Amino acid sequence: MRNIAYAILLTGITALSFNSFAKKTSPKLKVTAKKQVVAIINKMVDGKKTWVPSHHSINSTQETELVLVNTLDAVHGFEIHGYIKPIALLPLETRKIILKKIPKNTKIKISCHMHPAHVGSTIVAK
């Protein structure tokens, strides 16, 4: 997974989909029988540490595997209040975590618990 983080850093990819390596189109979501996979990448945008993309739509009936990628050379925090406890990603670290099923039409915020001013993103269950 570390190689993926380096590739993202070098190419400037903002949204990673494991399907995109095999297809010309680049969906942000891969749905399997049991779970879906969403990549959330931390990078500098206009001088601010930001989780990108800024909006994610997920299927409320499935678990979601979040692939967190810190492309920066500093530790960065990740939290989904009420769903994912705060974690710290080391520089250039990639980590997978599971987000349990969330109710339909629920909107949850992703944030950096270490630096509240950093730009987060949103997940919406459909």
CATH code, 83: 2.60.40.420
Counted domains in the chain: 1
Q: Which residues contact 117 (CB under 8 A, 6 or more apart)?
A: none
Q: Tokens 């209040």 — which residue?
A: 81
Q: In this structure, what token pair is assigned to residue 122?
A: 């949103």
Residues 6+ apart with CB under 8 A from 23: none
Q: Please tell me the predicted confidence (pLDDT) of residue 29.
A: 52
Position 40 scores a pLDDT of: 93
CA–CA separation, 83 and 7 (whole Å): 29
What pLDDT score does 69 carry?
Answer: 95
**So what's the pLDDT on residue 66?**
93
The label of the residue with tokens 């029988």 reads 33
pLDDT of residue 28: 54
Question: Residue ranges of the chain with pLDDT lower than 70?
Answer: 1-33
State the Cα–Cα distance between residues 60 and 24, nearest whole angstrom.
Answer: 27
Expressed as residue numbers, the domain containing 69 is 2-125
User: The whole model's pTM is what?
Assistant: 0.70
